[in-house]
Structure 1
Amino acid sequence: MWSFSVDHEADSDNGAPAYIPYSRDAGAKPEAHHRAGKRCCSLCGTGKRWHSIQEVVRRREIMAWKNIVGSPFDLDSFDAYCHSLSWTSWRPSFLVVHNTGVPSLDQRPKGFSKAHIQNLVSFYRDQKGWSAGPHLFIDDRQIWAFTPLTVSGVHSPSWNKLSIGIEMLGDYDKDEFNSGRGLAVHQNTVGAMATLSAVLGLDPSTIRLHREDKATTHACPGVKVRKIELIDEVQRLMAVRHTGEHLA
């Protein structure tokens, strides 16, 4: 789920740069950007002195924006796209499912647009100071590739380095997940996860919901999303569309 509340932020293994707030979903702790021997900024609550300029510059380099794909796919073209990729420098171990919460389905009556996706760049990169966002944004029409699937993203504090983050358009505490537009989002998400599981050799039983991350406060992806049903649907679709395929 998207969060517009700002705490502090860190999504690298070395913590966040000084002056940049972190969000809990970026994987930080308040002390993450505090170095031993240096009192930190007041955001930490550990002192009033700032890190050295050299440290700030080094950490800003760590947080360099990873760019986005910014392209929409239907299920068939997404499958072909994933088969064209190579995971050489980073390889995920499982998939994490989110819902956007805000916007809800009613707030995006035509799904995501190119402009919406570009606005997310400004939100994650410029407002939050993150190095990336989730990997996919899925609506009732298509699958938008955001952070490249071959690099780690930022979406769940404990699992950023381990997983692909998938955002479903909707608020599934309120929106229907098994009928109407919500069902179309549901089906597109299952299709995307079946492809990713087949191409990456992932066991669908390892699929996780954002709320299962003990380091987050979010109830995402909503009470109407049941993991056991998603796993079963992904397994059944893999048996139909990806027979014999397990490429890891």
Structure 2
Amino acid sequence: MKDDRPQLRTVNVTRYVTPLREGGSLPAIAEADDQFLYVLKFRGAGQGTKALIAELVGGEIARTLGLQVPEIVFANLDSAFGRIEGDEEIQDLLKASVGLNLALHYLSGSITFDSLVIPIDTRLASRIVWLDSLLMNVDRTARNTNMLWWHKELWLIDHGASLYFHHSWNGWEEPEKPFPLVKNHVLLRQAKELDAVNAEYKALLTEARIRDIVALIPDEWLVEGTPFETPEKHREAYTQFLTTRIAHSDFFVKEAQYARESLV
């Protein structure tokens, strides 16, 4: 029987190519020992491993739902990189990020998605709005879509601003909580099929699938700034939050529909 549980490869960073200064956390293009280029997200950046966890969980949930996401890999960063970098800001970031980081396959030749230039169908728009409502992703706006157009397909990137409750863990046991910022979603106007998508996606995101995705989070990302006694309990909290929110998805779907009605 084929094992369809999500799995991530691990690569070793061999060359720091260039910083991506348009990203608030100063990600970079880097080359790994498999000869591919990646967008490298650093554990030593401002939001720390919380952003990497959100990137991992959000990206793999999106992949489970059939949305296009670049391959996500674990990326080992050696201490030597911090010693040879001339820029002091980047040098400090590299030194703080020695060890296991996260990276996404670099989509060479892609362009930033502009909803005014590239039309997409209402079903796809509804799928993305549903995903971001589940994850409470605050960073998919007209100003910063975090979507790329590549090979005539729409690709989702940068879920690091999702699951923002985990920066404090206040109210995490109330996953039915509102997500009012859905009103700013760049695709909300086109999201006309949320009810149909809701039925489809609830069937795909089983508790077993959520547990498999959350199980990917490395122990070392779950030990700093946590109210939980063990990494296992920390993962269980993510699983509980997501599965309960999925079970009550009608709530955030209605919220998105009300927000959409105020726009159209």
TM-score greater than 0.5 by the shorter chain? no
Q: Sort the TM-score into its range (normalised by shorter chain).
A: 0.3 to 0.5
TM-score, length-scaled by structure 2: 0.32
Higher-strand-fraction structure:
2
Higher-helix-fraction structure:
2
TM-score, length-scaled by structure 1: 0.34
